[in-house]
Copies of this chain bind each other. A is one copy, B any other.
Amino acid sequence: MDLGERLLNGDRRACARLITMLENNDNEAIDILRDLYKYSGNAYVIGVTGAPGSGKSTLTDKIVKEFRKKGKKIGILAIDPTSPFTGGAILGDRIRMNDLTLDKNVFIRSMGTRGALGGMSRATWGAVKVLDIFGMDYIFIETVGVGQSEIDIVKIADTVLMVMVPNLGDDIQAIKAGIMEIADVFAINKSDLEGADRTKLEIEMNLDLSEDKEYRPPVVKVSARQNKGIDDLIDKLMEHRRYLEDTGKIIERRKKNIKLEIMKLIEEELMSLIMDKAFRENLIEDLANDVIAKETDPYTAKERLIDLIKE
């Protein structure tokens, strides 16, 4: 049996192998996903994002445990910054040493972020398809909720859960607002800490400014460590799912996500073509020398490089 058939038959090792191939930008994996794409679309994807230190992983684990009680099969993709020193994923080997990792119906994968030109969104979205075809009912994508590429990665979800914590200072409030737009449900984690109500109020005030009057993201206070509010949070996630499905907006949303994915795929492909050409023939080196010598400027250099590539 080839990898694709094995994936369809629920072979965990085929699943893991395909995700690795996607991380390595292996075209064979893409071809397999092309063939199997028609079997995708059954999983419901939940993106979990939030400030550094907000406890996203712990909260995800608590949610997943409840889903497991209902017999749901779960995939978790934790997007993990890659260490520039060791080259390995940083969190990968130390998080999630808990009972979920032993559960045959839970597939957890840390994916490392790679070089400057991204490729992470392509690999992540590919991995979502793999887990979907593999037969998962729910797929969680966790990312640190700051930075445009990180936001893009999680945007692909059907429901986006934004995890906040009380009192993270002014800077974090700004970031929060920068991604409030993509949140469908807010969780205030560590809500036993002082300031949780103020944080809730701030979010609600921001939501008051929103133009979408049809659906208003709920704000739920939880404590992942103390296992408080998890049921309530799950209710809100499911309410959002029902809202999308009952109104038919799920199609609209998935279509928007597909457009985003196609555009990102194009971006990544074109850039890798250009990088290849620019660096292999040393075109970029010559141009940078001219700019350093003030014989040209970066804007003109850009145009010259585009012309050279067109040839």
Contact A262 B85 (CB under 8 A): no
Contact B258 A291 (CB under 8 A): yes
A169-B53, A172-B52 known; A178-B81 Cβ under 8 A: yes
Closest-by-CB residue of B relative to A172 is B52
Closest-by-CB residue of B relative to A94 is B170
Give the contact stretch, choosing among A7-15, A215-223, A270-278.
A270-278
Closest-by-CB residue of B relative to A289 is B255
Count of A interface residues, CB-CB < 8 Å: 84
Query: Chain B's nearest CB lies how many Å from the CB of A179?
Result: 8
Chain A interface, DSSP helix/strand/loop, else mixed: helix
Residues in B with CB closer than 8 Å to A90 are 173-174, 177-178
Query: Chain B's nearest CB lies how many Å from the CB of A159?
Result: 18
Binary interface encoding of chain A residues 9-52 relative to chain B, with 1 for a CB under 8 A from any of its CBs, else 0: 00000000000000000000010011001100100000000011
A280 within 8 A of B: no
Interface residue from B41, B53, B206, B256 paired with A294 (Cβ < 8 Å): B41
Interface residue from B53, B254, B300 paired with A171 (Cβ < 8 Å): B53
Contact A255 B178 (CB under 8 A): no
Interface residues of A in 274-296 (CB under 8 A from B): 274-275, 278, 284-285, 287-289, 291-292, 294, 296
**What are some 16 contacts across the A-B interface (CB < 8 A)?**
A34-B299, A37-B297, A37-B298, A52-B169, A56-B171, A81-B174, A83-B177, A90-B174, A90-B178, A95-B170, A116-B152, A118-B148, A254-B292, A258-B291, A265-B298, A267-B270
- Residue ranges of A at the interface with B (Cβ–Cβ < 8 Å): 30, 33-34, 37-38, 41, 51-54, 56, 80-86, 90-91, 94-95, 113, 116, 118, 125, 144, 146-150, 152, 168-175, 177-178, 180-181, 206, 209-210, 251, 254-256, 258-263, 265-267, 269-271, 274-275, 278, 284-285, 287-289, 291-292, 294, 296-302, 305-306
